[in-house]
Structure 1
Amino acid sequence: MPQNHFCPWREEAEELKAEVGRIGGELDTLKGQMAALQRHVFGRKTERMPSVASELRQAAASPASKAARDEAALRTRRERAAHRAEEAPSREVRHLVPPAARRCPSCGSEDLKPLGAGRTSVVYEYVPAFFERQVHVQEVLACACGQGVVTAPVPAKVVDRGEYGPGFLAHVVTSKCADAMPLHRLAQRIERASVPMSRSTLTDLFHQAASVLLPLSSHLLQVIAAAEVVWADETPMRVLDVKKTKQGYLWTFLAQTQQGEWLLGYRFSLGRAGKTPTDVLGGTRGALVVDAYTGYNAVTLPEGRVRVGCWAHVRRRFFEALPTAPEAREALDFILALYRVEAQARDAGLVRTDAHRELRMQLSAPVLAALRTWLEKQTPLHLPKGPLGQALSYARKQWDALTRFVSDERLPLDNNRSEAALRKAALGRKNFLFVGHEAAGQNLAGLYALVATCEANGVNPETYLADVLLRVQTHPHARIGELLPHEWKHLRAADSS
């Protein structure tokens, strides 16, 4: 048969070969999904993706270093416990020797005298919190002339004619935003404390607090948007609708001050499009640390913030490819080497300094070059739709954003801070399931921001909210930033000193 003669079976063989490749890619994808699902549902925690910190510790493990690390951890726990013990309210409880036992067990004499300060032991006890019904009586004075009357000033209230004080509202907000407690459950707890309460009343109080604090939560987002480096992420949150729920989203935006204080802002929306990032960050310049979601393109393209990628997302994709592609371990080792450089800078106190940038240029840049070569070599060897093929494609498409950290010491390796900022919201989502409407979601986002920023800066949110709920209504708007949690903390410390 001539070589140029048409052979139908060859064309059919090529089609079958392509079909086998397609099916093989889908099979690898399904295997990876099955392995990840089994690991998540049935596997022990040690079988799930280990944290970078645990892998770094394991890589540097030695008997001496492990002993030193354990000793340092124990010392830290003891110091933290001692500090907590000093902060806890204390009360001395005296235990006297009973009258019948006030005689010497040897000679029977009743002439006994105290021996030292006595034996001391410490017991932690729970004293139930309580609500009180305050009856405010304003003194009224009248002049003998019968014309003049003087009345004591009315006590300050969060809401005119409101029956609940700022401490009560602060407790409601903190219980829901910090402790993820549904309001119907909180109403039951308040009822047990002999205060008449319903869920609808608590809901009204929650939204009243959000309305009063709106200038603060809005200003907090403005301060974050003005920062040079911003972290961002989003998570779903259901919204009640007629006979069903619909999808909403809670967005978080983070920034860090020059003093290292973290500012956390939130915004709620009914959609996941780029409108929310535009509303918060539109027109600003700097860097934006996000994952590969295209909704952030609105503030990064064509002119806007410089997009910075997340190595944690890359690492997760290669880890998920391990069951079907063991060679993914090489990529994980490269990524771990990048985090090792960051740990070295952190241990040496070089973070966000020129020395940190020099360390990255010296140690991280060669790792990135080797990883890039490995990616190019591996890409033709794996099906695009397989787990490893998808991981390789993700890393290559995000390469520019992923490597910008090398030349800028302000930029982090990952977006884990944003993901951590959404964990509290995820816990609340499990407990109270949904928000009632869009305005309720916006109020929740505003209060989440203030409470989360308090916790990030070591401020008790109940104490803070009870104070600013009254202050914000009379504080000059031009100086509203003084009431943000991190600034309020400094003012509080200055007042007490």
Structure 2
Amino acid sequence: MNPLAQLDQLDLEPAAKNQVAAMLQALVDQAAQDAQTIANQQAILQTKDASIQAKDLKIAALTHELAYYKRIRFATRSEILAPLQRDVFEETWNTDLSAIDEEIEQLRDEQPCDTVARPKRPRAGRQPLPEHLPRIEHRHEPESCACGTCGKALVKIGEDVTEQLDVEPAKFFVHRHIRPQYACRACETMTAAPIPAAVIDGGMAAVGLLTWVMIGKYLDHLPLYRLEQIAARDGVILSRSTLADWVGRIGVALQPLADRLAWHLLQRDSLHADETPVPQLDPGSGKTKKAYLWAYRSNDLQPGPKLIVFDYQAGRGARYVQQFLGDWRGHLLVDDYGGYKALFAATRSHPASQRPLEPCIELACLAHARRKFFDLFQASQSPVAQEALNRIAKLYAVEAEARDVSTDARKQLRAEKSLPTLAALHDWLQQTRLCTAPNTATSKAIDYSLKRWTALTRYAETGDLPIDNNPAENCIRPIALGKKNWLFAGSERAGQRAAVIQTLLGTAKLNGLDPSAWLKDTLEKLPSWPNRRIDELLPFSNMD
């Protein structure tokens, strides 16, 4: 219906007809404009709905990815990855988790404000900053002491204190030693203060700089060229040849301390032992050959400071461990490598004199036996492997319960709980093996434990022998990570020098000392220290 066409049929004055026509035309135009506005708003809403739906889908995808990363990151107790892999990838996982969290927050912040309100993501409580660090106070006072509302004087009612952790990069500075010289006019005698003894005579490096180089190279696993670059950023030129000279001289100076630590270690009657391959440059061939870093660790369940001694050797043969141990005899906890077997033979000979020695007593690592079943379960979800893992978990639960008790109490607890559990595990393994086909992954996992059963269970008869070789493996793990940086040892002498430094720094860490502080103090004292008091310099002397 066209109202303007019907207007002509009405008997109206021309002026009134024109006025009504104008009003009707305005209404028609307004209706058309409103229809277009509604259409535009519907299109905008459809676009917003599509955008919100896309963001919701992305948030859901990111949330799923976040849950996946958290499951991997926090599932270390289930050994989802090997310990070395966890160390390598942990930094990436943490970074990815934070990045995904931030992406989700940004997407949610971009959502229209008229949508349903969402609760803020809970934040984990921040750990308090270390109390021993110095505090630099910054006071922030209001611009005026008068109330901005009524103009009256303000009264202090409290303080809001927040703390932030900060750091200053390594600072290079120069010690200037001034030694005035005096003369006697009567007898013409010259007098001056003596030059203090230094670990490197006539060297330009102070003890703090030498410590920085040694810690960077052997604790932080930084090659010398990286230390050279760090110093160059502060305008300090330290050539690699100079750094190498310092490292070589410090290694020689610290050798007696490492030798003394090895002597103390061999006074114990139970030890851990493990080894890791180290690529060593083969001069003339342009390639590397395989050397080995052997680790000998004290038993934490026995009294005395914790000790770790590294021994760098050209190979993995049995003669290398025999050379280090000499005529030592006691309980030795090792993996199943054949190089250790000669130590446990009925008779063995001293590596130097060939005189007969009593055999060492073998302790096998229950963690290695458990790992066989764990790998089997991961590969096939084997119910046999799951049952074995559950039974072994009971043994570790006993160790956790006995962690902080005396040796006698631990022995009694093991007798009451561990020995019956081990007996039941042994019976179950034998019965299960009879029903298992030979040459299968299951039979091999079972045989690994049964063939070493006496060595695996010997710990439970005492209160001071360890259940596994994890302490030694934990000491070797940082060395394995360091190989990613320095790639290979330049020579056998370089490997032996690294073993000396790693022995001292590793022992300091085990005993709760700051390796950097200990090394700096030792390098200051060492040049004038009497050899008869060398034990006082070892990285556990202040633990006694």
TM range (shorter): 0.7 to 0.9
Q: Does 1:313 align with 2:313?
A: no
With 362-371 and 423-432 compared, the bigger mean Cα shift is at 362-371
Amino acid at match of 1:153: P
Structure 1 residue 300 displacement after superposition: 2.9
Partner in structure 2 of residue 208 of structure 1: 249
Query: 134, 139, 149: which one pairs with 1:89?
Result: 134
Residue identity over aligned pairs, in percent, reads: 36
CA distance in 2, matches of 1:161, 1:405: 54
The two structures have a TM-score, normalised by structure 1, of 0.77
The two structures have a TM-score, normalised by structure 2, of 0.71
Aligned partners of 1:239 and 1:437 also within 8 Å: yes
Structure 1 residue 116 displacement after superposition: 6.9
User: Is the partner of 1:436 in helix, strand or coil?
Assistant: coil
Aligned partners of 2:272 and 2:299 also within 8 Å: no
Structure 1 residues 369, 103: CA separation in 2 closer, same or farther (over 3 Å shift)?
closer
Structure 1 residue 473 displacement after superposition: 3.2
CA distance in 1, matches of 2:401, 2:147: 66
Partner in structure 2 of residue 288 of structure 1: 332
Partner in structure 2 of residue 179 of structure 1: 220
Amino acid at match of 2:467: L
CA distance in 2, matches of 1:158, 1:279: 31
Structure 1 residues 435, 341: CA separation in 2 closer, same or farther (over 3 Å shift)?
same
Partner in structure 2 of residue 418 of structure 1: 472
Structure 1 residues 468, 356: CA separation in 2 closer, same or farther (over 3 Å shift)?
same
CA distance in 2, matches of 1:426, 1:205: 24
User: Is the partner of 1:179 in helix, strand or coil?
Assistant: coil
Structure 1 residue 137 displacement after superposition: 2.2
Structure 1 residue 260 displacement after superposition: 5.5
Size of the aligned set, in residue pairs, is 414
Greater RCO (CA < 8 Å, at least 6 residues apart): 1
Amino acid at match of 2:340: Y
Partner in structure 1 of residue 194 of structure 2: 153
User: Is the partner of 2:383 in helix, strand or coil?
Assistant: coil
Superposition CA RMSD, Å = 2.5
Partner in structure 2 of residue 32 of structure 1: none
Structure 1 residue 87 displacement after superposition: 0.7
Partner in structure 2 of residue 243 of structure 1: 286
Structure 1 residues 7-46: aligned runs within 5 Å: 44=72
CA distance in 2, matches of 1:278, 1:245: 26
Query: 366, 370, 381: which one pairs with 2:424?
Result: 370
Aligned partners of 2:305 and 2:543 also within 8 Å: no
Amino acid at match of 2:246: L
CA distance in 1, matches of 2:462, 2:146: 78
CA distance in 2, matches of 1:163, 1:462: 20
Q: Does 1:142 align with 2:183?
A: yes
Amino acid at match of 1:320: D
Structure 1 residues 483, 298: CA separation in 2 closer, same or farther (over 3 Å shift)?
farther
CA distance in 1, matches of 2:176, 2:205: 12
Q: Deviations over 1:7-64 (max 9, x none)?
A: xxxxxxxxxxxxxxxxxxxxxxxxxxxxxxxxxxxx9467888259xxxxxxxxxxxx
Q: Does 1:263 align with 2:307?
A: yes
Amino acid at match of 2:212: H
Aligned partners of 1:455 and 1:461 also within 8 Å: yes
Structure 1 residues 227-242: aligned runs within 5 Å: 227-241=268-282, 242=285
Structure 1 residue 130 displacement after superposition: 0.0
Partner in structure 2 of residue 195 of structure 1: 236
With 435-444 and 468-477 compared, the bigger mean Cα shift is at 468-477
User: Is the partner of 2:130 in helix, strand or coil?
Assistant: helix
Answer with 1 or 2: which has the greater Rg: 2
Q: Give 5+ residue unaligned stretches, structure 2.
A: 1-70, 81-124, 347-357
CA distance in 2, matches of 1:282, 1:174: 31
Aligned partners of 2:222 and 2:485 also within 8 Å: yes
Aligned partners of 1:315 and 1:332 also within 8 Å: yes
